[in-house]
Amino acid sequence: MAHDVVLIPGDGIGPEITQAMRRVVEATGVQINWNVQEAGAGVMDEFGTPLPQHVLDAVAETKVAIKGPITTPVGTGFRSVNVALRKHFDLYACVRPCLSQPGDGSRFCDVDLVIVRENTEDLYAGIEFDEGAAEVEELSQLVERSGQKTFAADSAISIKPISIAKSRRIVEYAFEYARRCGRKKGLTAVHKANIMKATDGLFLRVAREVAANYPDIEFNDKIVDATCMGLVQNPNDFDVLVLPNLYGDIVSDLCAGLVGGLGMAPGSNIGADCAIFEATHGSAPDIAGQDIANPTAEILSAAMMLDHLGENDAANRIRAAVSATLDEGKQVTGDVRRAQTGSVEGAVGTQAFADAVIAHLA
Ligand code: NAI
């Protein structure tokens, strides 16, 4: 049976890595009807928005999409298309496995952990007020009335909502994932509840309540800064980490660095009835259009998508082929070559790496 999948190439290195990914998926023989949809700055002029309604409609129909990264202007301009997609489809669980590959060039050789990031609230809620906005003054008065020391009049404000229901569903998702995947070392809830007693305190309280329903899975909690130090020093102390949105974002990149870098770290955004797969990394404008980006993260994201579609055999074949290609070490992209040898000499391009993976497909 052919699967209907929306493919959003994105921008920056997106078109290159999604092309490589698509060729690898097609080489497995799994039949996919790719519905290619454009989003981001490139469609702003034509549709007046970086995320046109017809793209949302297409994803709503297929319920499965894979995308390349999409650039978000820094400080000003339109809000993130990536965040908007996650919110629109309520893709509340961002799952990012970080697994050492032989030959990934990392300092560690046996990292095997999974980030489960809450994807819809926290400081990513997009509730913000610019410096000088009337709401800032109103908020200041509200804070004063509450008896708390208020903030400087020239402040900008971002609001951090953390709710019981959304904390509960992400922690439950993480426990169910840990159980389903037979994760042995257990689950760590990551927070900063010593400082943000209301928001992170709530997240931690809910996590502890949920943990009581999973006595078969070891549970602990850790403050986010200590978690970062622990991950860098002893990543094997960790297994599944569940985090609110912003910490999940930052810790994901840290963990990508433990397994060879951003080019190696796949991911998925999962909701109740829709899923969008994408690498952890962004659009990497510094290397775009040069056929040097590492498509591994995108290819492994496609393997996660194939698992989601019930094509586990093809997914496993892709993972094995990527692993064999990296292990062999002859045809790797510059980021991996540099991590291995200190120089990019002898590296291959994005499409040549995909060719090597295809050649290794069993
Ligand atoms: P980035 O992840 O794009 O790049 C960080 C560094 O990692 C760069 O040096 C880049 O060259 C390198 N890198 C990333 N992916 C790579 C790959 N596949 N192969 C080899 N090297 C790779 O982060 P940055 O520069 O902060 O963000 C660029 C843009 O991407 C921003 O507009 C940001 O908002 C957006 N972004 C989009 C995401 C998405 O679409 N889901 C996620 C993260 C960022």
Instruction: Measure 70 CA to ligand 1 centroid, in angstroms.
Output: 9
CA atoms within 13 A on the CB side of 31: 3
- Which residues does 328 contact at the CB level (< 8 Å), separation at least 6? 103, 360
- Give the residue ranges of the chain where pLDDT is below 50: none
Per the CB < 8 A criterion, the answer to whether 27 and 307 are in contact is no
Using CA atoms, how far apart are residues 321 and 315, in angstroms rounded to an integer? 10
Instruction: Measure 294 CA to ligand 1 centroid, in angstroms.
Output: 11
pLDDT at 77: 80
Query: pTM score, two decimals?
Result: 0.95
pLDDT at 227: 98
- Using the atom order of ligand 1, give the atom closest to the CA of residue 297: 18
pLDDT at 73: 87
Using CA atoms, how far apart are residues 339 and 65, in angstroms rounded to an integer? 31
Closest CA to 255 of 219, 230, 283: 230
Instruction: Measure 293 CA to ligand 1 centroid, in angstroms.
Output: 10
Instruction: Measure 281 CA to ligand 1 centroid, in angstroms.
Output: 5
- Using the atom order of ligand 1, give the atom closest to the CA of residue 296: 18
Name the closest-CA residue to atom 23, ligand 1.
282
Name the closest-CA residue to atom 44, ligand 1.
282
Angle at 79 between CA 124 and CA 189, to 5 degrees: 15
Per the CB < 8 A criterion, the answer to whether 336 and 105 are in contact is yes
pLDDT at 102: 87
Per the CB < 8 A criterion, the answer to whether 22 and 34 are in contact is yes
User: Which residues are part of the catalytic machinery?
Assistant: 124, 192, 225, 249
Using CA atoms, how far apart are residues 78 and 91, in angstroms rounded to an integer? 20
pLDDT at 76: 78
pLDDT at 285: 96
Using CA atoms, how far apart are residues 122 and 6, in angstroms rounded to an integer? 28
Taking every pair of Cα atoms in the chain, the longest distance, rounded to a whole number of angstroms, is: 67
Which of 283, 290, 336, 340 best tests ligand 1's pocket when mutated (most atoms within 8 Å of CB)?
A: 283
pLDDT at 105: 85
Ligand 1 pocket, residues with Cβ under 6 angstroms: 13, 17, 69-72, 82, 262-263, 278, 281-287, 293-294, 297, 335
pLDDT at 145: 95
| 313, two tokens | 């055999």
Name the closest-CA residue to atom 10, ligand 1.
284
